[in-house]
Amino acid sequence: MADERVGVIGLGYVGLPLAVAFAEVGLEVIGVDVDAGKVAMLMVGRSPIRDVPEEALRAALESGRFRATTDYGALAGVEAVLICVPTPYDAMRAPDLSYVRAAAEGLVPHLRRGHLVILQSTTYPGTTEEVVRPILERGGLRAGEDFDLAFSPERIDPGNREWTVRNTPKVVGGITPRSTARAAALLERLGAPVYRVSSPRVAEMSKLLENIFRSVNIALVNELALLCERMGIDIWEVIEAAKTKPFGFMAFYPGPGVGGHCIPVDPYYLSWKAREYDFYTKFIELAAEVNQGMPFHVVEKVEEALDRYERRGLRGARVLVLGVAFKREVDDARNSPAERIMELLLARGAEVAYHDPYVPRFRAGGSRFYREIVEWESVPLEEGWLRWADVVLIVTGHRAVDYPKVVATARLVVDTCNATAGIPSGSARIVRLGAPWPDAH
């Protein structure tokens, strides 16, 4: 069966690029999202995601190959449905599959014989077969017999212009060989290689391995950065030296914490599932603990810098945060370490403002660390704001920021991502994460 009509549930950072890509290769795509405001925006050609240019969205709309709706009933006429919804964790860092369950339940009344359903949301091994399958079978159709079911992990890297949904290799595992073959054939339409595995559980675990690999290595270099601070060694110089080895080494970099949808979340998904098997992922959880601790270290660094160079504490201090997105050159602030950092700064009595060229509004608080919900608008990176601040804190090193201007104007800069590397400090004090204090000998 040729799967020429495709439904995509969830039009966020994963689903929208996928939907537009399918439309670009000639498939008819119906996107479903519960956010009526987002659907209305999409239908007039306005993209909420920088990775999907508005020209590409408008071309898909004008071709008649893409439309967005809040109506699950529109999926009855497609051959394949891909579920691309968020999989966050709750306050206790247990998996929150409410979006996945809601998507499957929304599809049930419209599921028909011959449908292919592919879950793409990152999750723990067993979700496709233990959570999604029972929901879809409530209508009486049997997975593997009446409809096909598979898992293929999303591999979206926001802001990456080289590797996109069109050329990044895919992994797919179905509940039957036919399910795997159909899912692979559909994904191959995008043009990238597809690697087939024996089951959804293998595919689900492969995604966790990819991201936990990064979590563990980031934690390693974060811990080394803390050690280098004590030893008076520059971790950034150390990494550049280690990078000269042409084999057996891959560079990872320290920072103020980890963000985005995957790296802060995936270790906890796996550790939660592992306990069902009386297994405790100590190594993985320790890495997550190190990364989760970095925002606290950053705030302590800011406090010590103010004490050393401004002869004052955090209470009443004015802090200008540069960059609140979870990584540079993206507009995605999900789980950004800036959120925890700003909450901790507020809790210690600081005044906080921020500038981010890609994130016009930012929200924090409503947590154990700062009860009140606070919403900011990005302030312009002007001399007045740089002079307003007792300390400028660089959290996300967007290339669009004029760091020479920042250093030339600010009195004190705390740099958590080496954005000021190579810039003469002039009269400013530049305190860098993982490096000696500027007046150290």
Q: Is 262 assigned a catalytic role?
A: yes
The pLDDT, as a whole number, for residue 184 is 98
Q: Distance (Å, rounded) from C-alpha 412 to C-alpha 390?
A: 7
At residue 1 the predicted structure's pLDDT band, cuts being 50, 70 and 90, is very low
pLDDT tens string 78-88: 999 999 999 99
Q: Distance (Å, rounded) from C-alpha 434 to C-alpha 418?
A: 9
With a cut of 80, say whether residue 3 has pLDDT above it: no
The Cα angle at residue 308 between residues 307 and 310, in degrees rounded to 5: 65
pLDDT tens string 116-127: 999 999 999 999
CB atoms inside a 10 Å sphere around CB 22: 28
Q: Distance (Å, rounded) from C-alpha 410 to C-alpha 89?
A: 38
Ranges 215-229, 233-247, 260-274: which has the least confidence: 260-274
Q: Which of 84, 228, 262, 417 is catalytic?
A: 262
With a cut of 70, say whether residue 53 has pLDDT above it: yes
Ranges 12-16, 160-164, 374-378: which has the least confidence: 160-164
Which among 140, 85, 76 is positioned nearest to 118, based on CA atoms? 85
CB atoms inside a 10 Å sphere around CB 328: 16
Angstrom distances, CA of residue 167 to CA of 12, 192, 261, 407, 434: 19, 5, 21, 39, 36
Which among 149, 386, 124, 53 is positioned nearest to 272, based on CA atoms? 124
pLDDT tens string 160-213: 889 999 999 999 999 999 999 999 999 999 999 999 999 999 999 999 999 999
Angstrom distances, CA of residue 342 to CA of 115, 315, 376: 47, 13, 11
Average pLDDT over residues 303-331: 95
Q: Distance (Å, rounded) from C-alpha 49 to C-alpha 150?
A: 27
Structure tokens at 18: 């996928």
To the nearest whole percent, how much of the chain has pLDDT over 70?
99
Which among 189, 157, 194, 188 is positioned nearest to 172, based on CA atoms? 194
At residue 158 the predicted structure's pLDDT band, cuts being 50, 70 and 90, is confident
Beta strand 66-69 with 28-32 is: parallel
CB atoms inside a 10 Å sphere around CB 63: 12
Q: What is the largest CA-CA distance in the chain?
A: 74
**Burial classification of residue 280, based on how many CB atoms lie within 10 Å of its CB (0-12 exposed, 13-18 middle, 19 or more buried):** exposed
pLDDT tens string 245-257: 999 999 999 999 9
The pLDDT, as a whole number, for residue 346 is 97
pLDDT tens string 387-423: 999 999 999 999 999 999 999 999 999 999 999 999 9
Place of tokens 């690697």: 195
The pLDDT, as a whole number, for residue 2 is 64
Please give the backbone phi and psi of residue 76, each rounded to the nearest 5 degrees, phi first: -65, -25
Helices 54-62 and 15-24: angle between axes, nearest 10 degrees:
50
Angstrom distances, CA of residue 348 to CA of 240, 296, 297, 318, 412: 36, 12, 14, 12, 19
Place of tokens 């560079």: 251
At residue 264 the predicted structure's pLDDT band, cuts being 50, 70 and 90, is confident
DSSP per-residue letters across 326-379: SSTT----TT-HHHHHHHHHHHTT-EEEEE-SS-SEEEE-SSSS--S-EEEEPP
Average pLDDT over residues 9-24: 96
Q: For 166-281, where are the alpha helices, taking DSSP H only?
A: 177-188, 200-231, 235-242, 266-274
Beta strand 148-151 with 170-174 is: antiparallel
- pTM of the prediction? 0.92
The Cα angle at residue 277 between residues 274 and 282, in degrees rounded to 5: 40
The pLDDT, as a whole number, for residue 441 is 46
For 184, residues 6+ apart whose C-beta sits below 8 A from its C-beta are 170, 172, 194, 196
Domains in the chain: ranges and CATH: 5-197 (3.40.50.720), 207-283 (1.10.1040), 292-432 (3.40.50.720)
At residue 91 the predicted structure's pLDDT band, cuts being 50, 70 and 90, is confident
The pLDDT, as a whole number, for residue 440 is 59
